[in-house]
Structure 1
Amino acid sequence: MESKLKAEESNNTAIMEFVLVGFSDVPNLQWILFGIFLAIYLIILLGNSMIILITRNDSTLQNPMYFFLGNLSFLEICYVTATVPRMLSDIWTQKGNISFLACATQMGFVLLFGGTECLLLTVMAYDRYVAICNPLNYPLVMNHKVCTQLVAGSWISGIPVEIGQTCQIFSRSFCGSNTINHFFCDLPQILKLACGDKLVNQMVIYILAVIFLMVPFLLIVASYSKIISSILKLSSAKGRAKAFTTCSSHLTVVVLFYGTAAINYLQPRSNQSEGLGKLLSLFYTILTPMMNPVVYSLRNKDVMVALKRLLPNY
């Protein structure tokens, strides 16, 4: 009886620190993973920084599409910096301890940057829609003021929602295990450790996932349905090829990001293994930011020409 009371008391003890498991379940690969993730992080920083530099300074890239691309690259740097440096530190020290406040801060930033990316990718799809389906009015519709407002709206609109969601989760009591089988403080993983009934919180997660993932994705699909229809009506084969090439870069990033994020946040927790959750998270938090400069530079002649003009100066 006494041991049972002690166990219950232990289970109800408030958790003030979490432990991120990360990739400690593969101890023989720790240093290989450290090298891989460090190289990926440096590639992301360098590649996206180059895109920011050329889209701001090259006179031939001063149009809305590249303005949005530069902002997306800045966002990717922020997004990956919210998770990878901490993960590298955990692998290096072989410890995954993270304070309650640091975990809440990391989760808040991950949600903010993820939500902003969903909205910004939608804005970029709208930009392509106007450029291809309404080219005569494109300079008027997508003027600099409108572009700035769309980017600012993508950043600002998610802030109160993501802060509110973070505060809602971390205002709960945590008991029992403090181990998070993940490489960062992800929302579903944190909720698993909370005490009491979680139905309301789970419903809020699904609602926000629909708002920030499914609704923007459906808008992108609608935009590209119109875009493809307009491209097919072009009489010039060269014009069709150029339009498809421009749009395919954006579509590649959309599929990578939305596909993995939607599966991770919309699939019922009971149907998803923790290993799969970590793998999916790697795609939308690390691999997509790495693919962004590769996809947009290798598939875009204007960007490649701008890079060639820039590189001889260094």
Structure 2
Amino acid sequence: MGLVNVSSPEVFVLLGFSAQPSLEHFLFIVVSGFYVVSILVNGIIILVSCMDVHLHTPIYFFLANLSFPDISFTTSIVPQLLVNLWGPQKTISYGGCVVQFYISHWLGATECILLAVMSYDRYAAICRPLHYTVIMHPQLCLSLALASRLGGLTTGMVGSTLTMLLPLCGNNCIDHFFCEMPLIMQLACVDTSLNEIEMYVASFIFVVLPLGLILVSYSYIAGAVMKIGSAEGRRKAFNTCSSHLAIVALFYGSIIFMYLQPAKSNSHEQGKFIALFYTVVTPMLNPLIYMLRNKDVKKALRRIVLENCCGFAGSWGHI
């Protein structure tokens, strides 16, 4: 592919899964299915959290705020991935690549903060039940949600802008299926020490620290649950946290597997499938876990469906 100049290629070549062409059409079908379900279930979570007054609580407010980054993150990657899986062209425009790593960096950091905020909410619900409504008041919830987005946006803007300024000197091939910041940095023909320092600092602040806060919250929660006298009480207390714990395990588990692999070619190929799980499957599973495990969400869905069906039947009867 030709280049406009040494610093801004007209297009990037996303090698993706081209080393295994027999898999590409199969992956197209699988990824398409997961993407449609992901948009659907995240949309349902946002809808029921807004429409049903029984879900106007902090945990579902944060869950709806988690669903929005999931939809946006997967939408920034999957449509281009599907085009490249189906057709012979494996390219993405320079602008499209920039948008991908701006959005992925922003929303990834936002999700890390939101998961930590949700763990604090669970801590307040179980360890401080009598003061829960005072602690998690609506103004605080709104402030925490805004802070998570602004914090993610800030680190996304700084890291992505520093990456954009790197001269790439003729190399425009990315051995992945989407534009990721570390991979863009590998194409640079200048010293990237400043970019690497920024990336490590951002990773510590927006990945390691939130995970630490989550672990601290759940250590207090575990202590409080163990003090509950009855087995039934312990089970109910644990059930209020199990969905969030499952989401944390999925999110951080895939990140750890993706970034802590040895630098070998076969490991890099495996890393693409782990990244595929992280970008396509995890955003779908997050709301599904709450929909399948939480009675409140199931009841809210039934109420909305019944109300709309009754309303439709009533309006039909007047025709």
**Taking structure 2 as the reference length, what is the TM-score of the superposition?**
0.89
Q: CA RMSD in A?
A: 2.0
Are positions 1:174 and 2:196 aligned together? no
Matches within 5 A, 1:188-203: 188-203=182-197
Q: Relative to structure 1, is the Cα distance of residues 269 and 211 closer, same or farther in structure 2, using a 3 angstrom cutoff?
A: farther
Corresponding residue to 2:291 among 289, 294, 297: 297
Q: Is the 8 A contact 2:109 2:151 kept in 1?
A: no
**Who is 1:102 aligned against?**
96
Q: Is the 8 A contact 2:247 2:286 kept in 1?
A: yes
Are positions 1:147 and 2:151 aligned together? no
Q: Relative to structure 1, is the Cα distance of residues 28 and 269 closer, same or farther in structure 2, using a 3 angstrom cutoff?
A: closer
**Who is 1:126 aligned against?**
120
Q: Is the 8 A contact 1:22 1:182 kept in 2?
A: yes
**Who is 1:233 aligned against?**
227
State the secondary structure of the residue aligned to 1:182.
Answer: coil
- Deviation readout 1:236-271 (Å, 9 max, x if unpaired): 322211221121111111111112223434667579
Deviation, 1:308, is 2.3
Q: Is the 8 A contact 1:68 1:151 kept in 2?
A: yes
Are positions 1:221 and 2:215 aligned together? yes
Query: Structure 1 stretch 218-227 or stretch 303-312: which is displaced more?
Result: 303-312
Deviation, 1:210, is 1.4
**Who is 2:150 aligned against?**
156
The one-letter amino acid of 2:208's match is M
Tell me how far apart the structure 2 counterparts of residues 263 and 28 of structure 1 sit (CA, whole Å): 25
Query: Structure 1 stretch 261-270 or stretch 240-249: which is displaced more?
Result: 261-270
> Which runs of 5 or more residues in structure 2 are unaligned?
310-319
The one-letter amino acid of 2:96's match is A
Are positions 1:64 and 2:58 aligned together? yes
Corresponding residue to 1:114 among 108, 113, 136: 108
Are positions 1:87 and 2:69 aligned together? no
Q: Relative to structure 1, is the Cα distance of residues 271 and 252 closer, same or farther in structure 2, using a 3 angstrom cutoff?
A: farther
- Deviation readout 1:181-217 (Å, 9 max, x if unpaired): 1111011111111112223322322221111111100
Matches within 5 A, 1:224-263: 224-263=218-257
**Who is 1:5 aligned against?**
none
Number of equivalences = 304
Q: Is the 8 A contact 1:256 1:283 kept in 2?
A: no
The one-letter amino acid of 1:96's match is K
Q: Is the 8 A contact 2:117 2:144 kept in 1?
A: yes
Deviation, 1:109, is 0.4
Q: Is the 8 A contact 2:7 2:166 kept in 1?
A: no
**Who is 1:209 aligned against?**
203
Are positions 1:278 and 2:266 aligned together? no
The one-letter amino acid of 2:90's match is G
Q: Is the 8 A contact 1:206 1:266 kept in 2?
A: no
The one-letter amino acid of 2:92's match is I
**Taking structure 1 as the reference length, what is the TM-score of the superposition?**
0.91
- Deviation readout 1:143-175 (Å, 9 max, x if unpaired): 111101110100011212211111111101102
State the secondary structure of the residue aligned to 2:250.
Answer: helix
Q: Relative to structure 1, is the Cα distance of residues 85 and 271 closer, same or farther in structure 2, using a 3 angstrom cutoff?
A: closer
Deviation, 1:177, is 3.1
% identical aligned pairs: 43
Q: Relative to structure 1, is the Cα distance of residues 274 and 239 closer, same or farther in structure 2, using a 3 angstrom cutoff?
A: same
Tell me how far apart the structure 1 counterparts of residues 223 and 298 of structure 2 sit (CA, whole Å): 28
State the secondary structure of the residue aligned to 1:82.
Answer: helix
Corresponding residue to 2:46 among 38, 52, 55: 52
Tell me how far apart the structure 2 counterparts of residues 277 and 195 of structure 1 sit (CA, whole Å): 24
The one-letter amino acid of 1:183's match is F
Q: Is the 8 A contact 1:173 1:194 kept in 2?
A: yes
Query: Structure 1 stretch 130-139 or stretch 262-271: which is displaced more?
Result: 262-271
